[in-house]
């Protein structure tokens, strides 16, 4: 008789054969005070996927300057968008809602457990994978909520997930959702969100900007496909809307540090358009699944100020897909496809 038949069965799982799904977003501080901001930024900016500079060069800057100055500035920005009712950032609110709604959509299969995590901060990826395993999940689908792939986003989620698995003797099987920047359901959801938003305005935008989070130019030069994914999303979105290249343009926001990042820069483009006589614009953020600091503060508030200061008149920010019907349709369709063969 095979020795495996005599193996002990008293492993810690209480139920077996279940399938877990984890929606994972970038992360959020626990609060906007200096202590919480410093903890969050330290974890985020210590990731070598995010900042690829030598640790010998970067750490003195991070610990000597950045954490002592940016913590206060970022905290003040978070304070203006904070969800007071739940005492949390909008990103946490939306990510939880997305997981809850996906769980309801998949409740027809009692074998599936849906949860959510953050790459930086809490709830952590390690915490949620361990919990799903304890709850009997022998298979887990990791869903990084980044439509466009980048090493500094999707890859670092994968890194952390496999780091967690490396400490387990009995690992669950893992699948990871790849970039979905060109998925028809995603493109249609973006187009529908634009149409629904614009039809309720009392003005017609002369230009619409698709603003994506930037990455350093050097990352693209090393082979990161992010720039290509962003351009393809915008192109497919134009085709879906029936717009010209002049109507919908691609820009990149949120640059950090002294090196060159992907261009054109969103803030400069917004200012230039106003200076050129453009009076009405709209901005959306296709690369963000949920509204967060970079969309609500940097674009909806600061972008509007830049535009009007430079001579523009009407500015509108088109919200992210969040947990809307259109947004959940994207997450559910991709999840169901990736679970094929497991459920």
pLDDT, tens digit, 9 for 90 and up, residues 306-329: 999 999 999 999 999 999 999 999
* Residue 82: predicted pLDDT: 98
> What is the tens place of the pLDDT at every residue in 220-258?
999 999 999 999 999 999 999 999 999 999 999 999 888
The answer to whether 94 touches 290, Cβ cutoff 8 Å, is: yes
> What is the tens place of the pLDDT at every residue in 135-187?
999 999 999 999 999 999 999 999 999 999 999 999 999 999 999 999 999 99
The answer to whether 228 touches 246, Cβ cutoff 8 Å, is: no
Domain borders along the chain are: 18-179+326-338, 184-318
**CATH for the stretch 184-318:** 3.40.50.1400
* Residue 96: predicted pLDDT: 98
User: Is the pLDDT at 1 greater than 60, yes or no?
Assistant: no
* Residue 16: predicted pLDDT: 72
d(CA 295, CA 316): 12
The answer to whether 43 touches 120, Cβ cutoff 8 Å, is: yes
* Residue 325: predicted pLDDT: 97
Average pLDDT score over the chain: 94
Confidence band for 110, pLDDT divided at 50, 70 and 90: confident
Distance between terminal CA atoms of the chain?
A: 32
Residue 38, CA atoms < 13 Å, CB-side half-sphere = 10
Q: Output the CA angle 96-14-115, nearest 5 degrees.
A: 10
**CATH for the stretch 18-179+326-338:** 3.40.50.1400
User: Is the pLDDT at 109 greater than 90, yes or no?
Assistant: no
d(CA 189, CA 100): 20
The answer to whether 301 touches 80, Cβ cutoff 8 Å, is: yes
pTM of the predicted model as reported, rounded to 2 decimal places: 0.93
* Residue 14: predicted pLDDT: 42
**Among 177, 96, 165, 154, which Cα is nearest to 132's?**
165
- What is the percent of the chain with per-residue pLDDT over 90, rounded to a whole number? 93
């Amino acid at each position: 008789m095979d020795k495996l038949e005599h193996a002990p069965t008293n492993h810690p799982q209480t139920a077996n054969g279940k399938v877990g799904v984890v929606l994972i977003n970038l992360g959020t501080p626990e609060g906007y005070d200096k202590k919480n901001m410093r903890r969050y930024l330290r974890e985020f900016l210590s990731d070598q996927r995010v900042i690829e500079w030598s640790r010998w060069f970067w750490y003195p800057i991070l610990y000597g300057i950045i954490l002592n100055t940016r913590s206060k500035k970022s905290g003040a920005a978070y304070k203006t968008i904070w969800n007071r009712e739940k005492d949390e950032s909008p990103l946490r609110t939306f990510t939880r809602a997305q997981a809850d709604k996906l769980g309801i959509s998949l409740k027809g299969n009692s074998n599936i457990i849906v949860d959510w995590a953050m790459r930086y901060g809490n709830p952590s990826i390690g915490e949620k994978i361990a919990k799903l395993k304890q709850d009997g999940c022998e298979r887990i689908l990791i869903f990084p909520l980044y439509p466009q792939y980048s090493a500094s986003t999707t890859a670092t989620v994968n890194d952390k997930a496999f780091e967690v698995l490396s400490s387990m003797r009995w690992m669950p099987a893992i699948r990871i959702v790849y970039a979905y920047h060109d998925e028809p359901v995603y493109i249609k959801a973006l187009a529908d969100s634009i149409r629904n938003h614009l039809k309720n305005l009392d003005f017609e935008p002369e230009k619409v900007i698709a603003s994506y989070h930037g990455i350093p130019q050097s990352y693209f030069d090393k082979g990161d496909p992010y720039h290509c994914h962003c351009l393809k999303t915008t192109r497919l979105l134009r085709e879906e809307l029936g717009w010209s290249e002049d109507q919908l343009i691609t820009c990149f926001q949120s640059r950090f540090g002294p090196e060159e990042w992907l261009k054109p820069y969103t803030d400069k483009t917004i200012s230039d358009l106003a200076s050129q006589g453009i009076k009405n614009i709209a901005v959306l953020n296709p690369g963000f699944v949920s509204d967060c600091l970079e969309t609500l503060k940097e674009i909806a508030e600061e972008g509007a100020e830049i535009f009007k200061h430079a001579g523009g008149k009407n500015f509108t920010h088109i919200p992210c897909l969040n947990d809307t019907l259109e947004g959940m349709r994207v997450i559910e369709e991709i999840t169901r496809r990736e679970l094929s063969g497991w459920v």
